[in-house]
Structure 1
Amino acid sequence: MKRRSVWLFDLDNTLHDASRAVFRQLDGSMTEYIARALQLPHEQADALRRDYWRRYGATLLGLVHHHGIRPAHFLEHTHALPGLEGRLFAHAHDKAALKRLGGRKYVLTNAPRAYTRRVLGALGLEAVFDGLIPIEDLRMFGRWRPKPDARMLRRVAARLKVPPSRCVLVEDTLAHQKAARALGMRTVWMQRYLRHNAHGPEVGVYLHRKPVYVCARIRSLQKLHSLRAL
């Protein structure tokens, strides 16, 4: 079954330690962008960033919906992140496990394409994957629909020419897994980088629990080879 699976891997905090390398700088970059674009004090811009992220799952969606911000401009400027490559970290045995894993493998991320390629290139992982599905590709009928939008997850499976039941979503974010499982996808909760995470919906989450919509919990991508739940 695993050889026939289509694997959908999240990027940040799944393939690498984004909590340590990226999130603090990215939060600051988004806040600065909002302050400039909307002419707000720093504190208000930061509060707006957090509010839109909680309400829409992505700060970008709130900015587009309420302020007409151009998505491409926002993504380009907020993800420039000078010196990013020098801060990236992933485990060598996780890289080896990905290379050995059977089935087709894709990166499915709410991050932009250029940033995703920078990260995968710096980690030496770009050649491991059959393709990338970044946020620019998560649009339907002119509207942006990043994870956990169930309609978009269904469309991703259709685009890859497989039923959702053939897909395995490997993620650190539970809300995304809940939506995927409701469609019939199998779900794997990657927990390696969450223990010391100070960003996102998983802050303070009880890592020893296993929600009913999670098929398996792992702390290393090596475990994908031995999971019986899939």
Structure 2
Amino acid sequence: MNVNRPQSRSPRRRPTRAAHRPVWLFDLDNTLHGASRAVFPAINRGMTQYIIDSLGVSRDVANHLRTSYTHRYGAALLGLLRHHAIDPHDFLKVVHTFDDLSAMLHAERGLARILRALPGRKIVLTNGPTGYAHAVLDALGIERIFERVLAIEHMRTRERWRAKPDASMLRKTLRDIGVAFEDAILVEDTRGHLKRYRRLGIQTVWITGHLPAALARGGRPHYVDHRIRSLKSLGRGLRTGQLRGQSRKPPRSFTGTYRHVTD
């Protein structure tokens, strides 16, 4: 006689976590292209002239306001809004409009190929204005590679305008686009921005190839996970494990001020 025995059940498999897909946050100027050659000097001249025309001050005073506001607030615009009555949209448009932008741009050979080869989402995060950022990306032939551009207009809140390296701004920005800190990799030329955001748990990549020699000196600061000269090194960093998709605890403490170039 056959005895019906209960069939043994195969052990239930736990769902596996999807493979990590990093979210790349790319700065624009001096990261995706070399702005120090022509673009930054032109922007600085435009800012100085705008301040002269708007505030009626001398060139020396205008230069001082531009540089001091940039170092203090992360962007000259923020200081001008806090201490003077200017139209922010007019300011951004005037100082970031050029007759022949394409001729002013310098970038790595094979830039589009390098970026496409990187796994995961790609976002531009810049203190520059939206129109300028899209114009640069279009001229470089890489605009379609990025799912979005987060420019200074997107960083503002109801209360005020904000810019990198504002921590609360980045928290809100990443929350709005559904990005966890541990998934983000910030690629940036400005060490102060990397230093401020490393404490949030974001992986940091300092790119130095487009920087003036004086700003690229030194080794790899403790808040920089990976130092590179060119974007080609990003893929190699992933392969060797220097850039990982694992969650990391942020540093226990953060001290110091930040230094900002222009973007």
Q: TM-score, normalised by structure 2?
A: 0.81
Q: In the alignment, which residue of structure 1 is the partner of 2:198?
A: 181
Residue 67 of structure 1 pairs with residue 84 of structure 2: yes
Letter of the 1:212 counterpart: H
Q: Which has the higher helix share?
A: 1
Q: In the alignment, which residue of structure 1 is the partner of 2:32?
A: 15
Q: In the alignment, which residue of structure 2 is the partner of 1:229?
A: 242
- Correspondence for 2:150 among 121, 124, 133: 133
Alpha-carbon distance in structure 1 between the residues aligned to 2:177 and 2:21: 13
Q: In the alignment, which residue of structure 2 is the partner of 1:120?
A: 137
The structural deviation recorded for 1:69 is 1.4
- Correspondence for 1:211 among 212, 221, 224: 221
After superposition, residues 195-210 of structure 1 pair within 5 angstroms as: 195-196=212-213, 204-205=214-215, 207-210=217-220
Deviations 1:150-200 (A, max 9, x none): 11111122122121110000000011101111100000001111144xxxx
Which entry has the higher C-alpha Rg, 1 or 2? Answer: 2
The structural deviation recorded for 1:68 is 2.2
CA contact under 8 A between 2:34 and 2:210: conserved in structure 1? yes
Q: In the alignment, which residue of structure 2 is the partner of 1:76?
A: 93
Bigger mean CA offset, 136-145 vs 104-113: 136-145
Letter of the 2:220 counterpart: K
- Correspondence for 2:67 among 23, 46, 50: 50
The structural deviation recorded for 1:212 is 1.0
Question: Judging changes above 3 Å, is the alpha-carbon distance between structure 1 residues 116 and 206 closer, same or farther for their aligned structure 2 residues?
Answer: closer
Question: Judging changes above 3 Å, is the alpha-carbon distance between structure 1 residues 75 and 206 closer, same or farther for their aligned structure 2 residues?
Answer: closer
Letter of the 1:35 counterpart: I
Alpha-carbon distance in structure 1 between the residues aligned to 2:160 and 2:114: 36
Q: In the alignment, which residue of structure 2 is the partner of 1:142?
A: 159
The structural deviation recorded for 1:3 is 5.3
Q: In the alignment, which residue of structure 2 is the partner of 1:95?
A: 112
Letter of the 1:45 counterpart: A
Q: In the alignment, which residue of structure 2 is the partner of 1:156?
A: 173
The structural deviation recorded for 1:215 is 0.4
Q: In the alignment, which residue of structure 2 is the partner of 1:25?
A: 42
Give structure 1 stretches of 5+ with no counterpart: 197-203
Alpha-carbon distance in structure 1 between the residues aligned to 2:146 and 2:130: 14
Residue identity over aligned pairs, in percent, reads: 45
Letter of the 2:87 counterpart: R
Alpha-carbon distance in structure 1 between the residues aligned to 2:130 and 2:65: 25
Alpha-carbon distance in structure 1 between the residues aligned to 2:65 and 2:212: 26
Alpha-carbon distance in structure 1 between the residues aligned to 2:49 and 2:109: 35
Q: TM-score, normalised by structure 1?
A: 0.92
Q: CA RMSD in A?
A: 1.5
Letter of the 2:113 counterpart: A
The structural deviation recorded for 1:65 is 0.3
